[in-house]
Structure 1
Amino acid sequence: MEQISFGTSGWRATLDTFTNRRVRMVAQATASHLAAEGAAGEPVAVGYDARESSRGFAEEVARVLAVNGHEVLLPERDVPTPLVAYAIRDRDLAGGLVISASHNPPEYNGIKFFPADAAPAMPAVTADIESRLAPPNPAPEADWGTIREVDFQGPHAEHAMDLLDPDLSGLSIVYDAMHGSGRGVTDQLLEAAGASVRRRRCELDAAFGGTPPEPSPENLAGLAEVVRETGADLGIANDGDADRVAIVTPKRGTLDENLFFAATYDHLLERQSGPAVRTVSTTFLIDRVAQAHGEDVIETPVGFKWVAQAMAEHDALMGGEESGGFSIRGHIREKDGVLMGLLAAAVESERPFDDRLDELRAEHGEIHQDKVSVDCPDAAKTRVIDELAETLPETIADREVESVNPADGVKALLDDGSWLLVRPSGTEPKMRVYAEAESEQRVQALLAAGQELVEPLVNS
């Protein structure tokens, strides 16, 4: 039990730790949690990603839930995580579990729980599940539920088309699934909307072609090359479980997720009104776009669960985080790289991202952001943040610290409008150091200063 801990996005571990026995315990704890919430025996969904071990783990979870009296719906194949979340809302289920380690290498797997509202589980929910970890406790056989396969893809696609009503006629797109669960899903949706789609890494490969399915600029260099060589309008990629999106433009290559957020929110504001929700690590450019349209921005800690909560509280038009997870009003409050891929294409079809971003830069000025990681044992993270908050200097990289935001780690707001953020990773034994400024040179200076502040504290 001590090996099972729900972090930012559920429990993830290498396969020597992520075992059938422990997965069954999580499934039983989920059944016990649902019973305590008054949902004993109600239908649930169990989804899984493209990893070699995922279908087997999903079947283990399904059996445990079934012997606890639940009807269990499995997808017909591996599917993106947001399709499972949408199925929960669409079919009015009690909740669901997804077997996925998202962008992690193939030697990892993971499990996460979605409640009935199809939004990420809040800490009180995951803490309750952790408190109920135990071996399976079957109900009498006469009370066992059933397990059946259903279509998760069709209803989600129909909803996405109804929500966005896109016309992608004449648009040429290169789609990169990174061998993950977006293959045959995002690309089919783009084609259904009228785009011409060239596919890349859309074959099932449990080893992800030797590259973790993380849509970083380094891992998408091949996609950027194909976009340039073919003259495509846009490149679109998903991570391993397709809850995140990345895009490649002809001019900028792999687009910084902050810029994608700003351009897409600007596009949406031309048709609708509403605030944006962003995490503490996401660009202030969102604030400038919002202000230009007379809208507000709500800042949250890192983690899409906090974005989802704020989207509900403020009826937000769009919510997102700089790591590539986004959703919009009218959809589930879970990050959805499939829907956002379709929305990205719709934005591009009306006005190219490169042109829109040139206009935003002219209106709001240059803005750059980057991040680095510093190794830090999990047990030291709280101490490091506490000590940093106590010892933060009055100036960082030659600029005065005007204020400090402690919402998630330590965020120093400097007198030139730049900022430095240090926060603990929720998934790895690392501290994350983020910086934003008006030039790339200034960003690198801030990151170097941040590392100089953090490393001695980690090693003390």
Structure 2
Amino acid sequence: MGAITFGTDGWRTTLEEFTTPRVRMVGQAVATYLADEGLEGPVVVGYDARESSRGFAEELARVLCTNGFDVLLPQRDRPTPLVAHAIVERDLAGGLAVTASHNPPEYNGVKFIPDDGAPALPEVTDAIADRLADPDPLPENEHGTVREVDLVTPHADAAVELVESITGDVDLSGLTVAYDAMHGSGRGTTDALLSSAGASLEGLRCERDPTFGGGAPEPSPENLTELVGVVTDDGGPELGIANDGDADRIALVTPERGFLDENFFFAALYDYLLEDDSGPAVRSVSTTFLIDRVAAAHGESVREVPVGFKWVAEAMADGDALVGGEESGGFTVRGHVREKDGVLIALLAAAMHAEEPIDDRVDRLLAEHGTVVQDKTSVACPDHEKARVIGALEERIPDAVAGTAVEDVNTADGFKLQLADGSWLLVRPSGTEPVLRVYAEATDGDRVDELLGAGEELLEALV
């Protein structure tokens, strides 16, 4: 049981640790938790495109079924946000998604999604962890059923309805989009949604490959060079869209900028939504202050939360936020399930772009609010050492970083040092990998590199 720990977004580890007996223990823990909470409805179990994911999903379904729950499975691997949507749309007791998201193929994972469709908060995952045990089946006459269902159509209908409520009729005819599925579960889902709205699609890596081409399905600049080349080529598609392995995150590529910084897209999305609506934004502590400037220009506010979409989702509910997001490319909007959704946001981004090129909106925002540059790096650190290092860092917070005084220290998630020149440096433990993350934001790239170097030096003395 000690090998099963729930981090930022569920339990995720290498296949050496992610074994069938342990997965079955998680299934039993979820079944016990749901029974203890008096939740008796069906449970949906989704899964991503990894070689082992369907088999693990069937193991979870079997354990839930023998505990008396009816179980719904998709016909094939599908995006995690479709699982979250199905929970709310079908009024289910909850759901599980077998996925390691953007991690390499030697990883897998499982996350529990409660009956509100939002990511599980620690009190829920702690309660599940407390119930880890070998399967304890009921008598056969009390078993539930397992059946396959369509998760795509209801989610697509809801996405179109929501985007139409924001933009008017969704008509992408005349828009050419290059879509990179990165061999993940967005293939046949995100591209199909865009095509159904009228867009002309050019597909990249839209075939299932459980090895993801030998890399990680992480939609980062270095992994999207082909998509960038296609979109920035003269006469190429007008917009590039990529999803990570389970399509809950999105990356955009534009003709002018190539890979579009997720912070810039977040600011552009919020600004676009505020043209005809109102409401605060929720952003993680690692996300740009440009969101705050856009909010202030519209008389709105911003709520800053720790990294992890569960905190974004919780704050969105508390404050009726218009949009919530993270610099890693996870977003959702008011009126949708409170879980990041790279499929819905792909349709919304394309509709935005069809009205006005996203580059033009970003140019306007930067001209009004000032240039920002953000980047991040990682310092290797075993999981069992993270708490010690962060604790030691508390005693070594400097008075200045890279020659600039520290004006404030935010401890919502690790340590965010806000500097006198408006730049900042954040150090926090990763919840999904054995590393410490270092983030920095400033007005130019050289300054960001300087801050990241200072952060690495600070950590390397402690690790």
TM-score by length of 2: 0.98
Tell me the residue number matched to 1:101: 100
**Could you say what secondary structure the match of 1:330 adopts?**
coil
* Equivalent residue letter for 2:363: D
Deviation string, structure 1 residues 325-347 (Cα, Å, up to 9, x no partner): 11000000000000011111011
Does residue 252 of structure 2 align to residue 247 of structure 1?
yes
Structure 2 CA distance, aligned partners of 1:32 and 1:266?
44
Tell me the residue number matched to 1:156: 155
**Could you say what secondary structure the match of 1:281 adopts?**
coil
TM-score by length of 1: 0.98
Q: Is the 8 A contact 2:30 2:128 kept in 1?
A: yes
Q: Where in structure 2 are the equivalents of 1:178-189 lying within 5 Å?
A: 178-189=182-193
Q: 2:223 aligns with which of 219, 224, 230?
A: 219
* Equivalent residue letter for 1:437: A
* Equivalent residue letter for 1:174: A
Q: 2:444 aligns with which of 422, 439, 447?
A: 439
Deviation at residue 388 of structure 1 after TM alignment? 1.6
* Equivalent residue letter for 1:130: A
Deviation string, structure 1 residues 36-68 (Cα, Å, up to 9, x no partner): 1111x4211000111111111111100100000
Q: Where in structure 2 are the equivalents of 1:282-297 lying within 5 Å?
A: 282-297=287-302
**Could you say what secondary structure the match of 2:222 adopts?**
coil
Q: Where in structure 2 are the equivalents of 1:121-140 lying within 5 Å?
A: 121-140=120-139
Deviation at residue 452 of structure 1 after TM alignment? 1.1
**Could you say what secondary structure the match of 1:218 adopts?**
helix
Structure 2 CA distance, aligned partners of 1:168 and 1:407?
41
Q: Where in structure 2 are the equivalents of 1:46-195 lying within 5 Å?
A: 46-165=45-164, 166-195=170-199
Deviation at residue 15 of structure 1 after TM alignment? 1.2
Tell me the residue number matched to 1:17: 17
Tell me the residue number matched to 1:406: 411
Structure 1 CA distance, aligned partners of 2:329 and 2:5?
24
Tell me the residue number matched to 2:204: 200
Q: Is the 8 A contact 2:322 2:334 kept in 1?
A: yes
Q: 1:351 aligns with which of 341, 349, 356?
A: 356
**Could you say what secondary structure the match of 2:395 adopts?**
helix
* Equivalent residue letter for 2:219: P
Q: Is the 8 A contact 2:83 2:95 kept in 1?
A: yes
**Could you say what secondary structure the match of 1:457 adopts?**
coil
Structure 2 CA distance, aligned partners of 1:433 and 1:369?
11
Tell me the residue number matched to 1:237: 242
Identity value in percent:
67
Tell me the residue number matched to 1:339: 344
Deviation at residue 245 of structure 1 after TM alignment? 0.3
Deviation at residue 246 of structure 1 after TM alignment? 0.3
Structure 2 CA distance, aligned partners of 1:97 and 1:382?
29
Q: Where in structure 2 are the equivalents of 1:258-277 lying within 5 Å?
A: 258-277=263-282
Tell me the residue number matched to 1:416: 421
Q: Is the 8 A contact 2:105 2:215 kept in 1?
A: no
* Equivalent residue letter for 1:36: D
Q: Where in structure 2 are the equivalents of 1:325-336 lying within 5 Å?
A: 325-336=330-341
* Equivalent residue letter for 1:2: G
Structure 2 CA distance, aligned partners of 1:29 and 1:455?
39
Deviation at residue 379 of structure 1 after TM alignment? 2.0
**Could you say what secondary structure the match of 1:199 adopts?**
strand
* Equivalent residue letter for 1:224: V
Deviation string, structure 1 residues 380-399 (Cα, Å, up to 9, x no partner): 21222222222211111111
**Could you say what secondary structure the match of 2:437 adopts?**
strand
* Equivalent residue letter for 1:377: P
* Equivalent residue letter for 1:31: A
List runs of 5+ in structure 2 lacking aligned partners: 165-169
Structure 2 CA distance, aligned partners of 1:267 and 1:7?
33
Deviation at residue 457 of structure 1 after TM alignment? 1.1
* Equivalent residue letter for 1:15: L
RMSD: 0.8
Q: Identify which range, 13-22 or 385-394, moves more after superposition.
A: 385-394
Tell me the residue number matched to 1:34: 34
Structure 2 CA distance, aligned partners of 1:11 and 1:386?
24
Number of aligned residues: 457
Q: Where in structure 2 are the equivalents of 1:350-429 lying within 5 Å?
A: 350-429=355-434
Deviation string, structure 1 residues 370-416 (Cα, Å, up to 9, x no partner): 01101112222122222222221111111111111011001111011
Structure 2 CA distance, aligned partners of 1:410 and 1:402?
13
Deviation string, structure 1 residues 254-273 (Cα, Å, up to 9, x no partner): 11111110111111111110
Structure 2 CA distance, aligned partners of 1:392 and 1:200?
46
Deviation at residue 228 of structure 1 after TM alignment? 2.3
List runs of 5+ in structure 1 lacking aligned partners: none
Q: Identify which range, 368-377 or 301-310, moves more after superposition.
A: 368-377
* Equivalent residue letter for 1:427: T
Post-superposition, which runs of at least 4 consecutive aligned residues in structure 1 deviate over 6 A?
Answer: none
